[in-house]
């Protein structure tokens, strides 16, 4: 399961690192210490927190520079996998994006709750990108 630093979580939630620290100190957001003693947030916990916060108006995170006009960087909050297709739900700041992709794509990209992804929208299709190196099969 992925984990996120305070700065990474702040970027995904569209707030300052100090706001994330305050949420952790007040018990609203669960943080743990990693092996080096740094405070980290479990990806699934961050996804749940992002989804809960999305109910009301929120600040929009900084835009990513890209040639794609409709691009939503965010955190995966739900994945429902069927025999052929998968439904991927992403929380991007105040925006909830839902995409239907193939089961194979979800497995190849190792998309799971708490994973950072970017949804790119072209006409009626939503494509999901993920940074990083894929695990070998």
Domain definitions of the chain by residue range: 3-53, 70-129
* Radius of gyration of the chain from its Cα atoms, rounded to whole angstroms: 15
* Res 78: pLDDT: 96
Rounded CA gap, 61 and 94, in Å? Answer: 9
How many residues belong to the chain?
137
CATH architecture of 70-129: Beta Barrel (2.40)
CATH 1.10.1660.10 fits 3-53, yes or no: yes
Element (H, E) at 134: none
Number of other residues whose CB lies within 10 A of the CB of residue 99: 21
Q: What is the DSSP letter of 133?
A: P
Rounded CA gap, 81 and 84, in Å? Answer: 8
Q: What is the DSSP letter of 60?
A: P
- On the question of pLDDT at 62 being above 60, the answer is no
- On the question of pLDDT at 64 being above 50, the answer is no
* Res 90: pLDDT: 95
Task: State the average pLDDT for the chain.
Answer: 84
Tokens of 57: 């108006």
Taking only the tens place, the pLDDT of each residue in 68-113 is 667 788 999 999 999 999 999 999 988 899 999 999 999 999 999 9
Rounded CA gap, 81 and 40, in Å? Answer: 28
Cα–chain-centroid distance for residue 66? 18
* Res 9: pLDDT: 92
Same fold, 3-53 and 70-129: no
């Amino acid at each position: 399961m992925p984990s996120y630093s305070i700065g990474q979580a702040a970027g995904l939630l569209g707030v300052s690192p100090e706001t994330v620290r305050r949420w952790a100190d007040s018990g609203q957001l669960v943080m743990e210490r990693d092996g080096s003693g740094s405070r980290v947030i479990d990806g699934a916990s961050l996804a749940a927190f992002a989804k809960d916060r999305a109910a009301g108006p929120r600040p929009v995170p900084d835009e990513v520079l890209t040639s794609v006009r409709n691009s939503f960087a965010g955190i995966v909050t739900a994945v429902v996998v069927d025999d052929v297709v998968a439904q991927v739900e992403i929380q991007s700041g105040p925006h909830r994006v839902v995409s239907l992709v193939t089961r194979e794509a979800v497995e190849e990209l190792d998309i799971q709750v708490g994973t950072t992804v970017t949804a790119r929208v072209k006409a009626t299709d939503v494509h999901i990108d993920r940074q990083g190196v894929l695990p070998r099969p």
